[in-house]
Structure 1
């Protein structure tokens, strides 16, 4: 805090921690957001559609992070997240901050969770010549006829083993 804002972070850990401590991770799609809760019974989307739509939304967000396209990133989020996103996306702890570059981002796992589809990712960020990978977990839910990102937090799920043969 005592450093002037014009000085770069002293370590990659400080800069990368900014990415991991996302400002809107706590905003979520609150429990009172009925449109953001997973559907149940006959209205529940088939698992294949849920996984595909969730993967699509998160990949679009990761692509927006890489391109530093704030508007494209915002468009992937559920409405309750958008106000916090607008206030913080380009700030020091935001996904679209200027002090780091996203060098790569991949989806490592998609599975059903308690609040929607959980999409695990690995995001490689660089500050100057230093780079590191961080795991981020996105929660994607169905909101009306569309799908949106309802939450983002550090961490992720271990990929589910696939049957071979």
Structure 2
């Protein structure tokens, strides 16, 4: 019976120290994913990835509609900028002189195997003729910034939204 009291005392001490240990590890307290070190809100990694990807692709769509090749190039990651330069102003490129972009819309953003996948619907007009094309952009993190690492025909059907 003399051994149970030290075990109980040790257990009580460990349980009393557990909240302090968890707080020191970032578990508990106000250091969770909803708080920043400056006291302001901080986005969860998935939310940040989706928001940054949407921002990059929207900036690219705006550049395409405005025929601003430099602004378009700046949205791409450095390793693919040479390919962008070679294709963007070509006869079928995103910035070709003979067509306009009257409408470009982001239709879906989701995580994919190579980064965030941003689906778009782009309407291209040549004179009075219009055609709508689905484009899929892949956006990845490059250091502290985000950039478009790929563009391909196609895209995802928007995921249904769940309303409470």
Separation in 2, partners of 1:94, 1:80: 18
Residues 29-86 of structure 1, C-alpha deviation per residue, up to 9 Å, x if partnerless?
A: xxxxxxxxxxxxxxxx700000000000000000000000000000000011101111
> Unpaired segments of 5 or more residues in structure 2?
1-43
2:128 matched to 1:129? yes
Count of residues in correspondence between the two structures = 121
What's the TM-score once normalised by structure 1's chain length?
Answer: 0.72
Report the CA distance between 1:164 and its aligned residue: 2.1
2:40 aligns with none
Between the two structures, name the one with larger relative contact order (CA 8 Å, sep ≥ 6).
Answer: 1
1:49 aligns with 48
Q: Which stretches of structure 1, 4 residues or more, deviate above 4 A after TM superposition?
A: none
SS of equivalent to 2:139: strand
Separation in 2, partners of 1:162, 1:85: 34
Which of the pair has more CA radius of gyration?
Answer: 2
Residues 112-135 of structure 1, C-alpha deviation per residue, up to 9 Å, x if partnerless?
A: 000000000000110110101110
1:120 aligns with 119
RMSD between aligned residues: 0.9
> Unpaired segments of 5 or more residues in structure 1?
1-44
- Superposed, which structure 2 residues align to 1:1-165 within 5 Å? 46-165=45-164
Residues 143-163 of structure 1, C-alpha deviation per residue, up to 9 Å, x if partnerless?
A: 000000000000000101011
Separation in 2, partners of 1:115, 1:51: 14
